[in-house]
Amino acid sequence: MNESGTNAGKLSDVQIKELIHTAIGQLAYSYTPYSDFRVGAALLAKNGKIYGGCNIENAAYTPTNCAERTAFFKAVSEGVREFEAICIVGGKDGILSKYTSPCGVCRQVMMEFCSPEDFQIILAVSEEDYQICQLKELLPMGFGPGNLA
């Protein structure tokens, strides 16, 4: 199944497949000794560079970091602050069977750096089975930098 949102035409099929492939590759780096639920992410910056991320758990739980935030923080720490899309994959023991949607904290981080109307989120199980949505669909009426202007 390949479902696309209204803005899905912005990414080419090649870009989508590359993001999915990269996100799946990030599963190997996940550190998940407590949940065994591995998540991989691939963040496409507007400059064309892709930043990978994986989830990193912690025995104290609160310091755990999601794959999406890992990718964003890597990019921002290198001076990149403009983004086109992110692909997210996940599953128990790294086995992909359902779409893995970003948590609320990750959605808020996306809101900080991305246009809710333009930023695309690819939820994938494989290169053939994915869904694309916009940030505004996952975080309607989100609070971001524009609210403070």
- Is residue 120 a contact partner of residue 11, using CB atoms and an 8 Å limit? yes
Angle between helices 67-77 and 104-113 (to 10 degrees): 30
| 68 is an active site residue | yes
Of the listed 18, 68, 128, 137, which one is catalytic?
Answer: 68
d(CA 35, CA 139): 26
Q: Please answer whether residues 51 and 75 qualify as being in contact, where contact means their C-beta atoms are separated by less than 8 angstroms.
A: yes
Active site residues: 68
